[in-house]
Structure 1
Amino acid sequence: MSAASIPVTVVAGFLGAGKTTLLRNLLERCEGRRLAVIVNDFGELNIDAGMIAEQTEAVYSLENGCICCSVQDDLLAQLERLANMNPPLEQVVIECSGVSDPQRIVQTLGYPKLRKRLHLDAVLTVVDAARREPLEGEYARLERMQAAAADLLLLNKCDLLDAETLAAQRERFGRGARVLETIQAQIPDELLLGESSRKLRPHGQEGVDHGDLFESWNWQGDMTFDGARLKHWLETLPRGLLRLKGLVRLAGQDGALWLQYVGGRYQFRPATDAEAAQGARLVFIAEKGGQLRAELEAGLQSCFCSS
């Protein structure tokens, strides 16, 4: 079977929203993980790459243009090279310019040269919830496009807002995506990791206790799923479920499949023989307090094939 496809996480958001902070949070605890980061800071001097290059050598800079426009050919070439690295990468992260439309990058991943070796893991859009003056005109339209492309939308700098203003911002941006309220762009490791089960190196959370906000649990078994029932269940999952990922076996199909669900979008991909040998398993990540676990586990069981 062919080599495993590499998950690609796209980080988007307007200028100053906190994208580089999010990347630095990741890179501070990625020791031992084969991770590549592509940074695109709009302008002649690529400051963002310099800020994070001290923490990893696997930073690739696309300079002097917007990643979805003038340097798109460069992005394609860079991704093709990363896809062919040996030993293979575990994950690629692309930081869009603050003036980029992330949907253009998503389309690039569908090019024939790339789609068998790389796949979209998630689009994370960071929004500055504490911006004093709202954007106007084309800038406002671009911010809405960035938010609309998100699988997960990080409403950042929430510690600077009162409850009423925060609720208004959540309503403004959260109509089409799962929304996470963040401080210093801190989010649980599981939302950054793609399909890999390797844990990141712990670091200080600056007072942010993710255990108060999220809950995570695992399912493991040797059950085979009915494909039609499983797909229907995935299409009706509650908004409180942020992410679901793992290996499953569908009736009538040889081998195992990677199931990836994030922010309302799901996909299946063939697993390699080595991955399939690890057995069927799923990881759930949900908002805490919604009492979703029993509901989700019952729904999952309804998708099992009868013995």
Structure 2
Amino acid sequence: MSRKQSAGAVPVILLTGYLGAGKTSLLNHLLRHPDARIGVVVNDFGDLNIDAGLVVGQVDEPFSISGGCICCLDDDTSLEDALTALAKPRLRLDAIIVEASGFAEPLTLARMVTRMGHHRFHLGGVIDVVDATMHAATVDTETAPPMRYAATTLVLVNKLDQLPEAEREPAVDAIRERVHQRNPRLLVVGTSYGRLDPTLIFDPGAGAERGGDSARPSVGTGEGDGANAEPIQAELPIRELIRQAYAEAAQESHDGNGENVPVHKHAQSVTITAHGSADAGAVLDILEDLPAGVYRAKGSILVDDRGRRRRYGLQVVGPNVYVSAAAPQEQNWDSALVVIGESFDEAAVRAKLEVALSGNGGSSGVERLRHYVRLHS
């Protein structure tokens, strides 16, 4: 597969967390987003309770992997087969979400996905869902913080609604302190009912652009993309009702008893554009060690590469950096980057990236870009 195709690789997001922490609540919430088109792989299918109307129009059916926890199976080809099938360009998915068993180890799962089909999909993050009320009694029970934090890119402290309002922020802070003892770069956010802003972890609607067509048909089962491909099922009218219900729910900030229910705030984003050749080394210095609060970054940069001007596409999630050769674009800028996160210093991040993008840095750092391209080729 060409590098251009690899630039459109579908992000695979791993949902991990102890039993009952709220993984399925988060998955349902993401599926209800009016613009999202998500593939689903479920390890513990018996616990999944998704309204059939939400699944139809998103994917033909969720993939179910049985026989034990994914990371404990002797043969992981079932997971790779599922991801490969869902990553077909014709499906135009924004993301693939793997809901793992409550016993799954994030580090093992992350390694499994990382060594699989780089061109079709890549690891788009590991979200560990934490029960704010039970985490210390079920998961974080030792003197040292759990090793699972080392592989996680985002910790979601869920079920804050079950705590008195005065205890919610201290609960998130306490878990953040423990997490940062193991992994100081990890983003920790609090929420209830899994109501996380999807734009923090993927781009709703990006699948249409990745597929090269603004139309967004539902997922079919055909193997090819040609005239003989299996017909693709149209979205059901219920999808329009779901869009409306989601929009209404997003505005709702109180439960049925009138009590204040914490809702995750919208993700922050900063977009920087520039003319001329970027300083590839300076850009990578920032992306390889994202500023505090920044969870992911995306975009493309124009650099001087062996006497020629070349464009490279960039996708970054936590510590994971993906670089690919990018096609020329008809834009009024040469380089552009978008950074997304929560509670970060926008002015400081903007200033750093503006310097890096307009640095006219010659060929400095280009070999590092090429290294990433070779790594994921």
Q: Shared fold (TM-score greater than 0.5)?
A: yes
Q: Provide the C-alpha distance between the structure 1 equivalents of 2:297 and 2:150, rounded to a whole number of angstroms.
A: 21
Q: Provide the C-alpha distance between the structure 2 equivalents of 1:132 and 1:94, rounded to a whole number of angstroms.
A: 22
Extract unaligned runs of 5+ from structure 2. 209-241, 254-261, 362-377
The structure with the larger Rg is 2
Partner of 1:51: 50
Matched, 1:68 2:67: no
Q: Give the counterpart letter for 2:50 in structure 1.
A: M
Partner of 1:189: 198
Q: Give the counterpart letter for 1:257 in structure 2.
A: Y
Q: Provide the C-alpha distance between the structure 2 equivalents of 1:196 and 1:218, rounded to a whole number of angstroms.
A: 18
Q: What is the identity percentage for the equivalent residue pairs of Structure 1 and Structure 2?
A: 29
Q: Provide the C-alpha distance between the structure 1 equivalents of 2:330 and 2:110, rounded to a whole number of angstroms.
A: 30
Partner of 1:129: 132
Deviation at residue 226 of structure 1 after TM alignment = 1.4
Partner of 1:153: 155
Please state whether the residue corresponding to 2:286 is helix, strand or coil: helix
Q: Give the counterpart letter for 1:93 in structure 2.
A: I
Q: Provide the C-alpha distance between the structure 2 equivalents of 1:256 and 1:65, rounded to a whole number of angstroms.
A: 44
Please state whether the residue corresponding to 1:108 is helix, strand or coil: helix
Please state whether the residue corresponding to 1:126 is helix, strand or coil: strand
Partner of 2:178: 172
Q: Is the 8 A contact 2:298 2:338 kept in 1?
A: yes
Q: Provide the C-alpha distance between the structure 2 equivalents of 1:264 and 1:107, rounded to a whole number of angstroms.
A: 13
Deviation at residue 39 of structure 1 after TM alignment = 0.9
Structure having the larger proportion of residues in helix: 2
Partner of 2:322: 267
Check 1:13–1:223 CA distance in 2 against 1; reply closer, same or farther (3 A cut). farther
Check 1:16–1:306 CA distance in 2 against 1; reply closer, same or farther (3 A cut). same
Deviation at residue 98 of structure 1 after TM alignment = 0.8
Please state whether the residue corresponding to 2:283 is helix, strand or coil: helix
Partner of 2:102: 98
* Correspondence for 1:7 among 5, 11, 29: 11
Q: Provide the C-alpha distance between the structure 1 equivalents of 2:278 and 2:290, rounded to a whole number of angstroms.
A: 17
Check 1:149–1:219 CA distance in 2 against 1; reply closer, same or farther (3 A cut). same
Q: Provide the C-alpha distance between the structure 2 equivalents of 1:293 and 1:165, rounded to a whole number of angstroms.
A: 26
Q: Provide the C-alpha distance between the structure 1 equivalents of 2:187 and 2:137, rounded to a whole number of angstroms.
A: 21
Extract unaligned runs of 5+ from structure 1. none
Partner of 1:281: 336
Q: Give the counterpart letter for 1:104 in structure 2.
A: T
Q: What are the superposed Cα offsets for residues 253-303 of structure 1, whole Å, 9 maximum, x if unpaired?
A: 7653332233344332333x38x4566432222433x5x122111111221
Q: Give the counterpart letter for 2:359 in structure 1.
A: C
Check 1:168–1:294 CA distance in 2 against 1; reply closer, same or farther (3 A cut). closer
Q: Is the 8 A contact 1:245 1:284 kept in 2?
A: yes
Q: Is the 8 A contact 2:16 2:99 kept in 1?
A: yes
Q: Is the 8 A contact 1:83 1:117 kept in 2?
A: yes
Partner of 1:306: 360
* Cα-Cα RMSD: 3.2
Q: Provide the C-alpha distance between the structure 2 equivalents of 1:140 and 1:37, rounded to a whole number of angstroms.
A: 33
Deviation at residue 214 of structure 1 after TM alignment = 4.2
After TM superposition, the score normalised by the length of structure 2 is: 0.67
Partner of 1:21: 25
Q: Is the 8 A contact 2:201 2:296 kept in 1?
A: no
Q: Provide the C-alpha distance between the structure 2 equivalents of 1:8 and 1:268, rounded to a whole number of angstroms.
A: 16
